[in-house]
Copies of this chain bind each other. A is one copy, B any other.
Amino acid sequence: MKKKCLEAVKAVSDRRLWNRIMEMAEFGATSAGGVNRAAFSSEDIEARKLLISWARELGFMLSTDDIGNIYVRRPGKLYDAPPVLTGSHLDSQPKGGKFDGAYGVLGGFEALEAIERAGLETKFPIEVVAWSNEEGGRFQPGAMGSAVFSGEYPLVEALNTMDRDGERLSDALSETLGATSGLQKRKIPFDITGYLEAHIEQGPILENGNHTIGVVSGVQGLCWYRIEVYGEEAHAGTAPLKNRKDALKTAVHIIAALEEQMADDTDTVRFTVGRFECSPGAPSTVPGKVLFTVDFRHPDRHIFEETVNLIPKICKASAGRCRVDVERLTYTEPIAFDSNIMNLVRDSANALRLSNIDMVSGAGHDAMHIAPLCPSGMIFVPCEKGISHNELENATPTDLADGVRVLVASLTALADT
């Protein structure tokens, strides 16, 4: 690592980062210690204002775009060169934590401040982005800011989205932009030299393995199925078992068969039945209908596609005397991050003597939408017991700052000092 870069790494402050995360967490703070900060809500506006005020204090340039993403820019020597981008999101789950998303934005900002304090000159500009509406709790779908940026999701559709109270996103966005005026408006997408997103892992792998840094190789593919089993209600005392069309029994058989298919010694497969509803739900009535969901994820494109195609077949094959309807709800192919970015992150972590492993992201992130546009990657840090999307979400100041140190080393390398 260049000496100048090492100085920037050393300028990263555990305390400053932690304090910023805690200050940000006050907007939408819940009594249980979590955060409820829906996209384009008054809490989100306050969060944006805070970021903007910090950026202005340090003399960084500010811009936004048609979907309200905020960019904080530290110029490079090549004024018009495509920036190196880092960031995440400031909105939260309804019962979310302090770190999911906010860490990526404020960690990026800490990196920018450290680079500034070290007086490091980069060829390329470095920018911190706060993507709009990643969680999708209020306006669906989530990861909207990055998806609109990349063009994957049309801006017009995004603007016409309504929340549960019938408020249109375009109105909520106007209010947000009005309350955070004075930012330069930019066309999207603009060229990016490279993208790197820091995030808490949201799983237990780093903590269990005593690693500080996860070098993220990609985001696993995600497929949701909604499976409906139609049987026939019958009296539990009088209907012989051989005559029954027992929707619950069939559902149990299907799930058992799917589970068998999902057997995996490497523990890479993610298979979850999270919703299961049984009707009419009386102890002495054979269920006439069961609805359940399958959430299947895998990082390997081939295995992912094969298994996704197999699931409906297994459901039908285990239907017995019932009718089984299978509907695919969500389908996102696995994303592989850039190997050069992975090498850079790994080398940075090793240079800083931070224990690290390559790992797949279990959850989706804004980086998924940026990966097709430029060399992209992610840095994971541990979160307590892997708990996330939960008010109890927690992480240590040291781990969070170590993640930013790796970020600084990687960003400065990408931005060519």
Binding site for B on A (CB under 8 A): 201-205, 208, 220, 222, 224, 234-243, 246, 248-249, 252-253, 255-256, 259, 262, 264, 267, 269-278, 281-287, 290, 293, 295, 297, 329, 361-364, 386, 388-389
How far in angstroms is the closest Cβ of chain B from A99? Answer: 14
Whether A270 contacts B236 by the Cβ 8 Å rule is: yes
Whether B283 contacts A236 by the Cβ 8 Å rule is: no
Whether A237 contacts B220 by the Cβ 8 Å rule is: yes
Closest residue of chain B to A208 (Cβ to Cβ) is: B243
CA distance A380 to B205 in the complex (A): 63
Within 8 Å by CB of A274, from B236, B262, B269, B295, lies B236
Whether B222 contacts A241 by the Cβ 8 Å rule is: no
Contacts A203-B238, A238-B388; A283 near B276 (Cβ below 8 A): no
Whether A203 contacts B267 by the Cβ 8 Å rule is: no
Whether B252 contacts A274 by the Cβ 8 Å rule is: no
Supply 27 A–B pairs (Cβ within 8 Å), ascending by A: A201-B238, A202-B235, A202-B237, A203-B240, A204-B240, A205-B238, A235-B362, A235-B363, A237-B362, A238-B270, A238-B362, A238-B388, A241-B262, A241-B267, A241-B271, A243-B386, A248-B274, A249-B259, A252-B252, A252-B255, A252-B256, A256-B256, A272-B283, A272-B285, A275-B281, A276-B278, A276-B287
How far in angstroms is the closest Cβ of chain B from A95? Answer: 10
Whether B224 contacts A283 by the Cβ 8 Å rule is: yes
How far in angstroms is the closest Cβ of chain B from A207? Answer: 11
Chain B residues whose C-beta falls within 8 Å of the C-beta of A234 in the assembled complex: 386
How many identical subunits does the complex contain? 2
Chain B residues whose C-beta falls within 8 Å of the C-beta of A238 in the assembled complex: 201-205, 270, 361-363, 386, 388
How far in angstroms is the closest Cβ of chain B from A291? Answer: 10
Closest residue of chain B to A222 (Cβ to Cβ) is: B237
Whether A240 contacts B274 by the Cβ 8 Å rule is: no
Closest residue of chain B to A204 (Cβ to Cβ) is: B243
Whether A269 contacts B281 by the Cβ 8 Å rule is: no
Closest residue of chain B to A265 (Cβ to Cβ) is: B242
* Other A-B pairs, 13, CB within 8 Å; known A208-B243, A238-B388, A239-B270: A201-B238, A202-B237, A234-B386, A237-B297, A238-B361, A241-B270, A246-B272, A248-B274, A249-B259, A249-B273, A274-B283, A274-B287, A284-B295
Chain B residues whose C-beta falls within 8 Å of the C-beta of A276 in the assembled complex: 248, 276, 278, 281, 287, 290
How far in angstroms is the closest Cβ of chain B from A268? Answer: 8
Closest 10 CB pairs of A and B: A203-B238, A238-B362, A237-B362, A236-B272, A283-B293, A276-B278, A236-B295, A274-B283, A237-B363, A202-B238
Closest residue of chain B to A363 (Cβ to Cβ) is: B237
Contacts A248-B273, A274-B282, A386-B234; A242 near B267 (Cβ below 8 A): yes
